[in-house]
Structure 1
Amino acid sequence: ITEWHHKLSVYCQMTLKESLDECMEAMDLFLNNHFSESLERLRPRVNESMYHALIYATVLEMQAMMTFQHDDISNAGNTMKSAQEVCQRSDKIPHFQLHAEVCYAECQLQRAALTFLQDENMVSFIKGGIKVRNSYLIYKELHSFIKSQSCLKGPSHLHLEGGISFGIGAFNLTLSLFPPRILKVLEFAGFSGDKEYGLSLLRNGATGMNLRSMLCALLLLCYYTFLTFILGTGEGEVADAESLLIPFRLRYPRGAIFLFFAGRIEEIKGNIDEAVELFEDGCKAQQAWKQFHHMCYWELMWCFTYKRAWKMAYFYADLLSQESRWSKAMYIYMKAAYLSMLPKDEARPFGEDEVELFRKVRIFKQKIAGKSPPTEKFAIRKAKRYRGPSPARLPVPVLEMMYMWNGFSMISKRPELTEGMMQTLMEAEGSLLESPENEYTLDDRCVIHLLKGLCLKNQGLLQEAEECFNTVISSEKKIRFDHYLVPNTLVELSLLYIHQGRRDKAIKLLHKAKHNYKEYSMESRTQFRVHAALAKLKAEHGEEEES
């Protein structure tokens, strides 16, 4: 019996090693833009090998998240479910057990992500939360086990460790971004994430040669170049992102994913022309997955926005409105917004008319998890002003949306870009003063003051910036429509205070922004930023953050 066990053990380890090697090759093909070849390499063994099943489903899920098409999402979900069944079968073979459990937890996590994307009601939202919770508990148990003495380290142990690092790292990092209030809604009572611990696990995972290193790297790159901007305090961890990207750029010089992130890094550094070149390169690198093009078009749209090349930006918004399923309402709104930035007498591309476009925005509203995405709600609410027979012009719709995506911190390194935005704002302010007053006038002035404050902060004119922010805050009682302005201005003023070392004042404003305002546009994004700013202050002073 012992000899038979030994033979079985050797056989299991060989088949496991073969599976892992084959999946590594498939991953390599994927990162070199050979997407369909990658899937072909995996397909024959998806019903017998848990790793083939998992990686195959992961590639389909990435595609679904980019196309946003219902068929792709449900196909990825079903494939992930089948992969989970393969893991459950493998769990019965002793030598596969730990690997099967890690793969199972990863399937569970990815299925939860799809649930959040796909379904239209709160029940599925909670179901997703339960899947996430189960996955978290499996990872936690496995993590303790591999740290213990009783864990035997076979030849494929690296991949096992990589899988656990990815899971525990992803949980810690992601949960650390969430304000406690939102975690409670997601049924995560008692869970909280340790950001630094999560980052360190993901960094270890990304630098190791294992099947999950690419997933660890992608999650980190998303965090460094997107999440810290959109949900954070807008500093971005550029040096970390760059050093992480170097080995991948060397191994996959034409890899579309890595060209995209390289472009994003240049954009954050304020090197807009270099960013444009990399995004254009990312589009030329492959034609198989148009979704990568759409990600590049979105960034190109913003790059030309920063340069105030409104027609070029409009061109990319137009391409997106025709080709991408992600958010048609947003693209149509942006097209209208760019056209409205052009002088009245200038010919419009394709003979389009901004008023007509603004009126169309609400037709393209979509629902995800039973709710419209907050950015779409914001666009629809703003476009309302164009519905009546005499439309009330939005003064700077492009710059306002640019603020929502934290574009003012993107241009902070480039004085001439901030200077350009300031010029646009001064002109808008001038024409507001000349126009007859209407019910929106005060709100419009406040929008301009907030954005001017951001430009002045970029220019180092902190006293003037503070005055602009205070003008908005003191108009609170008079604001009629744009209720997002005051909480957001409080956050911006508190970030200015943090910058000046006026810590106590900053904390006071952040608590005010957190507790005193409800039901305004893009509220959860603002709450994420408040949480990030408080967490940053807490980390610097080692103190407890109040809930």
Structure 2
Amino acid sequence: MRAAHLSTSGRRKTLPAPRPQPQPQPRSLHRSPGEVSGRRRSAPRLRRSSVHPVRDPQRGGMSFLGLKRSFKRKDSQQDAGQASDAPKSPDSPSRLSVINSPDLDPVITNFKLQLPGSEDTLGSTNPSNGCSQSSLSLSLEDCMAALDLFHRNDFEGALARLRSKAKDSMYHALTYATILEMQAMMTFDPDHILAAGNTMKEAQAICQRHRKKSSFSKTFTEEELHAEVCYAECLLQRAALTFLQDENMISFIKGGIKVRNSYQTYKELHTVLQSAGYTHSDNHGHFEGGVKLGVGAFNLMISMLPTRTLKLLEFVGFSGNKEFGLQQLQEGSSESTFRSFLCNMLLLCYHTFMSFILGTGEGDVDDAEKLLQPYLKKYPKGSIFLFFAGRIEEIKGNLDAAIKRFEECCEAQQQWKQFHHMCYWELMWCFTYKRHWKMAYFYADLLSKENAWSKATYAYMKAAYLSMLTKDDCLTFGETELTLFRQVPGLKQKIAGKSLPTEKFAIRKARRYFAENPIPLPAPPLEMMYIWNGYTVIGKHKDLTEGMLKTLDEAQAKLESIPRTEFSIDDQCLLSLLKGLCLKHLGHQEEAEHYFTLVLCNETQIKYDHYLVPNALLEHGLLCLEQGRRDEAIKLLETAKQNYKNYSMESRTHFRIQAALQKAKGTGENGIHVPSSP
């Protein structure tokens, strides 16, 4: 029997019927152009050890997709083991076809028309495929019930419910691994990171078991489409853990390939959703939500990247559009589906954290409140929702209300101390904004004793707060700023083979305390507050800003009262930058511009704190933007981006410059080609 094949040129060619293989290799959603080009080829023999290079017809030679597939096949073999060969359980999810149109672009999706009664119809002739149509729905419902327990702070109950089916159900495995990864991300505990990585690897193997097996059929069943989106999610989460856990370049390359594979899969699944041949199944909403989560996350994250980083990603086809990403996540969060919670959390993280720490505070606080309100109403004691409620009040400048919310979050549950640590960090900053140095020290001390994220940063903050107190006040704490500053370098740790930028910054600032007669830092808590964009928070309230300006004036007077040292110019420029920020938020724009310019005028005399100059240019540019001096603002921002490198917190500054340039140019796009869809 000869099998018909229609090439992209429209000429009909014949191919020999594929030889039946006892155990075909599981295939990815990705197909090479050669598979639809109409060229005559015999059915390949699939072996576990074989790697088939994919030729790029545009460039010649092996394409990145071929290299990625090579890595992916080896990775899938290690992860899945014999899982891909296991027979399907009668209770496995539905295998009814949801792709039944020949109108799809064969180069992108390679789907084939599946007609009722045709020999390619899955499930109609094979008893092993005759699964219950509702089993996928039941799995999703059970996982959502487990998430409900998680929202109610019954973390162990949620994990126990998922654990019972995590070896068979891809959604149970994915949800179980995701919760463990959330725990690892909050603790930075090496054991938690390792356990989460192993569990996510097992979840990926379960997803692999449910993915499309046949390399010849172009039909995807409902189960197989869900397996693709779950598989892409596993890859993305494993890549994140790889960056946290491993310290060698090979691990980074593997992590990058996982990200690329995930990105491509989400793009192709989005094409499926937009195609005329896609039929809505019973669980369409859950599948669509998964695609919107991935597509939205990639677009949003890539749109925020600095230009230098983006150029590397453009080479392999990444691009992002912030507005499209936010739209996808908004749509994904608005439905009551399995991934609506994750879409919601990502939006909340963007509006309340990423836009402040890695941006210029352009997050939509009103939108964040609207997103949170339904969850807070349903789960009034849910720790994660109380935490975000506190963060929203904090960035609005309502510090007393924020403190109350964070305290409620700590009281709501005792199972996961990680939520407490997140609250301690925010409480430390709330009391910093209020200039309550003793209370800020108290929470920094709790973090240094209980949390493993950055012992060096916690020690530095403790020393910084003590430096704002009198010697008599410091006696009650049993520690001195000198001993704490000297401890900072010895507490440095590495994550993903690199020291944390915040730790590097703290170590550099603490160096002057190793001298026999150290010259104290002028206002270390206020400087670190700038690193975390705290002036955008206090700028919303006049009394908070005026209080901080008063503290800076006191530091200025103290600096002028001592003899000049090698640090004098650096310290003066630091105070000028911070005073300029306060004056800008108070509406004294001419004075603010004077202080920003003062930093630039002393550029050649700065010896250590070289980060001050590009940040002064950034703040000056933002000030010009507020005044409508758009061209001048862009010029200042481009100067900050192009003319300075190898300074403290450089990546964070470049994130903020990128956000400011997007605001100035009125675009949310990032990348050479930014489509309205992936």
Shared fold (TM-score, shorter chain, > 0.5): yes
1:16 and 2:143 are equivalent in the alignment: no
Aligned counterpart, 1:275: 402
Question: Secondary structure of the equivalent of 1:296?
Answer: helix
**Is the CA contact 1:129–1:186 (under 8 Å) kept in the aligned structure 2?**
no
CA contact (8 A) 1:339 1:348 kept: no
Unaligned 5+ runs, structure 2: 1-115, 214-220, 674-678
Q: CA 1:370–1:541 in structure 2 vs 1: closer, same or farther (change >3 Å)?
A: closer
Q: Deviations over 1:426-447 (max 9, x none)?
A: 0100010001111101100000
1:76 aligns with 2:205: no
Q: Deviations over 1:146-167 (max 9, x none)?
A: 2112112111111000100000
Corresponding residue number in structure 2 for 1:65: 185
For residue 491 of structure 2, what is the aligned residue in structure 1?
364
Which residue of 2 is the match for residue 411 of structure 1?
A: 538
Distance (whole Å) between structure 2 residues aligned to residue 540 and residue 202 of structure 1? 19
For residues 72 and 185 of structure 1, the distance between their equivalents in structure 2, rounded to whole angstroms, comes to 31
Deviation track 1:85-113 (CA, whole Å, cap 9, x = no partner) reads 11111114844100000000000000011
- 1:464 maps to 2:584: no
User: Distance in 2 between the 1:325 and 1:230 partners?
Assistant: 21
Q: Secondary structure at the match of 2:397?
A: coil
Q: 1:30 aligns with which of 130, 139, 150?
A: 150
The CA deviation string for residues 31-73 of structure 1, in whole angstroms up to 9 with x for no partner, is 1111000000011111110000000000000001111111111
8 Å Cα contact 2:162/2:172 also seen in 1: yes
Give 4+ residue runs of structure 1 displaced > 2 Å after superposition.
1-13, 92-95, 183-190, 343-350, 540-546
Aligned counterparts of 2:671 and 2:309: Cα–Cα separation in 1: 19
CA distance in 2, matches of 1:75, 1:211: 24
What residue is the counterpart of 2:525 in the other structure? 398
- The alpha-carbon distance between structure 1 residues 57 and 544, as it changes in their structure 2 partners (threshold 3 A), is closer
- Match status 1:5 vs 2:124: yes
Residue number in structure 1 paired with 2:174: 54
Residues 343 and 436 of structure 1, relative CA distance in 2, 3 Å threshold: same
Larger radius of gyration, structure 1 or 2? 2
Partner of 2:58: none
C-alpha distance in structure 2 between counterparts of 1:12 and 1:541, whole Å: 45
Q: Is the 8 A contact 1:442 1:478 kept in 2?
A: yes
Matched, 1:257 2:376: no
Match of 2:51 in 1: none
1:292 matched residue in structure 2: 419
- In the TM superposition, residue 543 of structure 1 has moved relative to its aligned partner by 12
Q: 2:554 matched to which residue of 1?
A: 427
Q: Which shifted more, 408-417 or 536-545?
A: 536-545
Q: Is the 8 A contact 2:318 2:671 kept in 1?
A: no
Relative to structure 1, is the Cα distance of residues 203 and 544 closer, same or farther in structure 2, using a 3 angstrom cutoff? closer
Partner Cα distance (1:47, 1:544) in 2: 40
Residue among 633, 657, 663 paired with 1:536 = 663
Question: Counterpart of 2:440?
Answer: 313
Question: In the alignment, which residue of structure 2 is the partner of 1:87?
Answer: 207
Q: What displacement does 1:168 show? A: 0.4
Structure 1 residue 122: deviation in Å?
Answer: 2.8
1:216 aligns with 2:336: no
Q: Distance in 2 between matches of 1:355 and 1:460?
A: 38
Q: Give the aligned residue type for 1:68.
A: F
Structure 2 counterpart of 1:165: 292
CA–CA distance in 2 between the matches of 1:233 and 1:545?
23
Q: 1:128 to 1:543 in 2, by over 3 A?
A: closer
**Distance (whole Å) between structure 1 residues aligned to residue 335 and residue 563 of structure 2:** 64
Matched, 1:243 2:392: no
Q: Distance between the aligned counterparts of 1:92 and 1:133, measured in 2?
A: 20
Q: Secondary structure at the match of 2:320?
A: coil
- Supply the distance in 2 between the matched residues of 1:271 and 1:90 (Cα, whole angstroms): 49
Structure 2 counterparts to residues 522-533 of structure 1, below 5 A: 522-533=649-660
Identify the match of residue 148 of structure 1 among 246, 252, 275.
275
Residue 627 of structure 2 corresponds to residue 507 of structure 1: no
- Could you list the per-position Cα deviations for residues 402-445 of structure 1 after superposition, in whole angstroms to 9, with x for gaps in the alignment? 00000001011111111111111001000100011111011000
Query: Closer, same or farther in 2 for the Cα pair 1:11/1:366, shift >3 Å?
Result: same
User: 2:519, 2:672 → 1: CA distance?
Assistant: 43
User: CA contact under 8 A between 2:438 and 2:465: conserved in structure 1?
Assistant: yes
Give yes or no for contact 1:126–1:187 (8 Å, CA) kept in 2: no
SS at match of 2:493: coil
The answer (yes or no) to whether the contact 1:43–1:56 under 8 Å persists in 2 is yes
2:350 partner letter: Y
Q: Return the alpha-carbon distance in structure 1 between the equivalents of residues 137 and 670 of structure 2.
A: 47
Distance 1:361 1:195, change over 3 A: same
Deviation at 1:349, TM superposition (A): 3.4
Corresponding position of 1:107: 234
- Structural RMSD (CA): 2.0
Report Cα offsets for 1:252-291 as digits up to 9, x if no partner: 1111001011101001111000000000011001100000
Q: In terms of mean alpha carbon deviation, does 351-360 or 126-135 score higher? A: 126-135
Task: Tell me, yes or no, if the aligned pair for 1:183 and 1:189 is still in contact at 8 Å.
Answer: no
Query: Letter of the aligned partner of 1:207 in structure 2?
Result: S
Amino acid at match of 2:232: A
1:266 corresponds to: 393
Alpha-carbon distance in structure 2 between the residues aligned to 1:543 and 1:12: 45
Which of the residues 445, 452, 460 maps onto 1:325?
452
Equivalent-residue separation in structure 2 for 1:399 and 1:150 (angstroms) = 58
- The structure with the largest helix share of the pair is 1
Distance in 1 of aligned mates of 2:202 and 2:668: 48
TM-score (norm 2): 0.78
Aligned 1:176-195 pairs, distance under 5 A:
176-185=303-312, 189-195=316-322
CA apart distance, 1:542: 10
Do 1:453 and 1:466's aligned partners in 2 also have CA atoms closer than 8 Å? yes
Q: Tell me the distance in 2 between the aligned counterparts of 1:313 and 1:62.
A: 26
Aligned: 1:125 with 2:266: no
The aligned counterpart of 2:569 is: 442
- 1:354 is displaced (CA, Å) by 0.5
Q: What SS class does the counterpart of residue 149 from structure 1 fall into?
A: coil
